Amino acid sequence: MIHDYFFLAFAHLRHHPTRAWLTMIGIFIGIAAVVALISLGQGLQDAINSQFSTFGVDKIIVTGKSAGFGPPGQASAGKVTKADIQLLRKSPGIMRTAGRLLKPVSVDFANEVRTTYAVSLPEDDKEFELIKEVNTLRAAEGRMLKKGDKRKAMVGYDLAYKLVFSHNIKLGSKLLLNEHEYGVIGVMDRFGDPARDKAIYLMENDMRNLFDMKNEYSVVVAQLASGENPRAVAEVIKRAMGKDRHQKVGKEDFEIQTSEEILRQLTTILQIVSAVLTGIAAISLLVGGVGIMNTMYTAVLERTREIGIMKAIGARNEDILAIFLVESGMLGMTGGGLGILLGTALSKATEFVAAQMWGPNLLQASIPWYLVLGALLFSFITGTLSGVLPARKAAHMKPSEALQYE
Amino acid sequence: MTLLELKNIWKTYTLGSAQVHALRGVSLSVNKGEFLAIQGPSGSGKSTMMSLIGCLDLPTKGTILLNDIDIASMPESQLAQIRGKKIGFVFQKFNLITTLSAVENIALPMIFQRISHNEQLKRTIALLHQVGLGDRIHHKPTELSGGQQQRVAIARALATNPDIILADEPTGNLDSTTGRQIIELLVTLHNNSSKTIILVTHDDELAHYAQRIVYLLDGKIHKEWRRR
Ligand SMILES: Nc1ncnc2c1ncn2[C@@H]1O[C@H](COP(=O)(O)OP(=O)(O)OP(=O)(O)O)[C@@H](O)[C@H]1O
Ligand SMILES: [Mg+2]
C-alpha cells in the first residue's frame, strides 16, 4: 500500500519536474550546510582530541595570568620563573616539569623579513625528554637540537616549505633573528598545527640571550606522578605558589590549568561555534520547509478535481492525506539526499584544502553513518511536516464539490 | 429485488442568502440488475440525484437505502467504503487522472481497496479487453481519443466489481457515433453481468436503450415509463 502512495506521489512529481527541483533547493542547501558544518566540526573535535591524547591528561600547565584569549606568555601580567619550577619539582604528586619560552620574533631570510614565534627547547635533559614526549618532536630533516647547541635553529615544516619566504629554507641556511645569525640544522616534522608548523625552535640559552630574559618562562608544563588527581595537585600547587608570592587567594598573577580543563574549554568553544553555525544553516531548512508547504498548497488547489475523482472511486480521507504527505516527504528527502552529497563534497573539499595548507593531520572531515541517516530522516520529516496542512486540506475536501471544481 | 430506494429526498443548496431546491421530494426504487435512464431539462436535478445515490453528497432530508442500509446520514469514512466497493462512476468529462496511464487509472480503485498487485494486474488486463482497448494499456489519457478515454473510465468503474454503475451524461462530450458505441458497451455489460445501471442522458434515442425512464422536472419526478 505505502509503495502505491510513493508511486502516485512520484507520478505527480514527474509531471512537474522543474517545480519539484526548485522546491527542493531550500532543503538541499540547508542539509548541505548542516552536514558540512557538523562533519567539519566533528573533524576538528577529533583533531583536538588526538592532539590531547599525545599531550596526555596527566599534565598541568602553569602560565602567567593572561588578559584574554591571547597566546600564553604574551599578554601576561604575571610571570612564571625558574623559582616556580623549583617549587613545582618539590611539590608532592609531580613527576617531571619543563619550562618553555615563547616569543614573537622577526626572521630575516635572504633579505625577506617575516614575523613568527620562537619557541625554546630546554637545556636540561629530563626537561627536554618531557617536551619531546608531549609534543612528539621529530626532525623531518637534519637533526634535533640538543644540549649545548649555540646559534643553531630548527624551523617548522611550513616555515621551511610552504612559501612563507620566497625560497625554501634548507639545512645550513642562515637566518637573522633580531640581528643575530642562526644556522638551520633541522626541520621539524609536521605537527598539523599551523602555529607550531610556522614556528622557529631554539635552545633555551640562545633564546634567553636573544631576548635578554633571565628567569622567566612563558609556560611551565608538569607531569603528575601516576594515579594523582590533576585538579587536586593543581590546587595544592596554586596555594604553595600563591604563598611564595604573598598573593591572596583569587588575586594570583598566575594560572594553573589541567590538560583536561583545557581540552574541555576548547571543546566547549568548538561546540558553541558549531552550534551557532549549524543553527544559522538550519534556518535555511525552515525556509525549505516553507517552500515545500507553498508548493503543496499549490498542488492541492490544482488537483482539487483529481482529489474529487479519487474520493469518488473509493479513496478515504486517510488515503488522500497519505498521498500528499508522501509527496511532500519525498520532496524533502530527495532534497536532503542531494544535500548530503553536496555537504559531503564540501567538507571533503575543505579537508583537501586544509591538507594542502597545513598538512593532513589538522582536519579530517568526519561523516559518520548516523549523520547521514539523521540528515535523511530530518529532511523527510521536515518535508512531511510541511505537507501536513496542505494534505489535511486535501483530505477534508467534499467529494461532490471537489469534482465540480474547474 | 430492490437494490436502491430513495424516500422523499430533498436537496437544498444555500448560496449566500438564496436557497436552491435542487431536489424536492424524490422517491424512487431501483431493482437489482435494472437499467434505468434519467432524463429531464438542464437544472432539473439529475446530477444532484446521481451524486446522492453515489454517496458523493448527503441529502438535506429523506432516506436512501442501498441494500437496505441507510446511507443518508453515514460518516464520510463509511461513504468512501461504499463508493469504493459498490459504486462505479462514469462521468461526462471522463475524469481520468492525467498523470497516470490507462492501466494505472484502472488499477487505482483497486489500490484503495487494498487488492493485491497480481489480482490488480489480472483484472486490469481483462477489463481493458472487455472495453476493447487491449492495445492501449500504457497510454496516458491525453494520448487517447474521447471515446477511448470513456472506455478506460468504464473499465475503471468496473474495477472493484460494484453493484451499480452511475453514468452521468457519459456521451455528452462525444460525437453521436462514438456515443452510441459507449452506450452499447454499457448495454452489453448490463446483459452479460446483470449490473444495475443508472444513466443520465439528454438524448431520447440513447435513453431508449434503458428498461425504464424517469423524467425529472424542477427537482421532482414528473413522469416515469417502461420500455416495451
Ligand atoms: N454545488 C451547488 N451549489 C449550488 N447550487 C447547485 C450546486 N449543484 C447544483 N446546484 C443547483 O441545483 C440545481 C440542479 O442542478 P443539477 O446539476 O442537478 O442539474 P442537472 O439536471 O444535472 O442539469 P444539467 O442537465 O445541466 O447537467 C441547479 O439549479 C443548480 O444550479
Ligand atoms: Mg448534470
Over its length of 406 residues, how does chain A's per-residue pLDDT go in tens digits? Answer: 778 888 888 888 888 999 999 999 989 999 999 999 999 998 888 888 888 887 888 888 998 876 555 455 444 467 888 888 888 888 888 889 999 999 999 999 989 999 999 999 999 888 888 898 888 888 999 999 998 899 999 999 989 988 788 889 999 999 999 889 999 999 999 887 888 899 999 999 999 999 988 889 999 999 988 888 888 888 888 888 888 888 888 778 888 888 888 888 888 998 999 899 888 888 888 889 999 999 999 999 999 999 999 999 999 999 999 999 999 999 999 999 999 999 999 999 999 998 887 777 678 888 889 999 999 999 999 999 999 999 999 999 999 999 998 8
Contacts 24+ apart (CB under 8 A), A192-196: A192/A47, A192/A358, A192/A359, A192/A360, A192/A361, A192/A362, A193/A51, A193/A358, A193/A361, A193/A362, A194/A158, A194/A357, A194/A358, A194/A362, A195/A71, A195/A117, A196/A119, A196/A135, A196/A156
pLDDT at A365: 87
pLDDT at A71: 52
Shortest CA distance from A303: residue in chain B: B97
Shortest CA distance from A309: residue in chain B: B95
Q: What pTM value is reported for the model? A: 0.79
ipTM: 0.95
CA distance B187 to B193: 10
CB A292, CB A328: distance < 8 Å? yes
List of chain A residues whose C-beta atoms are within 8 Å of the C-beta of residue B84: 313-316
Nearest CA-CA partner of A310 in B173, B98, B144, B161: B98
Query: Which residues constitute the domain of residue B105?
Result: 31-59+73-226
Name the residue with the closest Cα to ligand 1, atom 12.
B22
Task: Encode pLDDT of B171-199 as tens digits.
Answer: 999 999 999 999 999 999 999 988 999 99
8 Å CB contact of A316 and B56 = no
Q: Ligand 1 in contact with B20 (CB < 6 A)? A: yes
Give the CATH number of the domain where residue B88 resides. Answer: 3.40.50.300
Look at residue B180 and tell me if it is in a domain. Answer: yes
List of chain B residues whose C-beta atoms are within 8 Å of the C-beta of residue A305: 95
Residue A121 in grid coordinates = 627547547
Nearest CA-CA partner of A38 in A346, A262, A354: A346
8 Å CB contact of B109 and A314 = yes
Look at residue B11 and tell me if it is in a domain. Answer: no
Look at residue B65 and tell me if it is in a domain. Answer: no
Q: Which ligand 1 atom is at minimum distance from the Cα of B216?
A: 21
Look at residue B164 and tell me if it is in a domain. Answer: yes
8 Å CB contact of A313 and B156 = yes
Domains of chain A, residue spans = 2-52+264-404, 103-118+139-200
Task: Encode pLDDT of B197-209 as tens digits.
Answer: 999 999 999 999 9
Shortest CA distance from A15: residue in chain B: B99
Residue B19 identity (one-letter amino acid): Q
pLDDT at A76: 43
pLDDT at A32: 94
Residue A212: count of CB within 10 angstroms of its CB: 7
Nearest CA-CA partner of A116 in A47, A64, A188: A188
Q: Which residue matches cell numbers 638551520?
A: A184
Residue of B12, B19, B44 to test ligand 1 pocket, by largest number of atoms within 8 Å of CB? B44
8 Å CB contact of A314 and B83 = yes
Residue A358 in grid coordinates = 597545513
**Domain total for chain B?**
1
Higher pLDDT, B91 or A251: B91
Pairing of strands B87-90, A174-177: unpaired
pLDDT at A225: 87
Asked if the model's pLDDT at residue B216 lies above 80, the reply is yes
CB A239, CB A231: distance < 8 Å? no
Asked if the model's pLDDT at residue B105 lies above 70, the reply is yes
Nearest to A311 among B80, B91, B113 (CB): B80
CA distance A168 to A159: 8
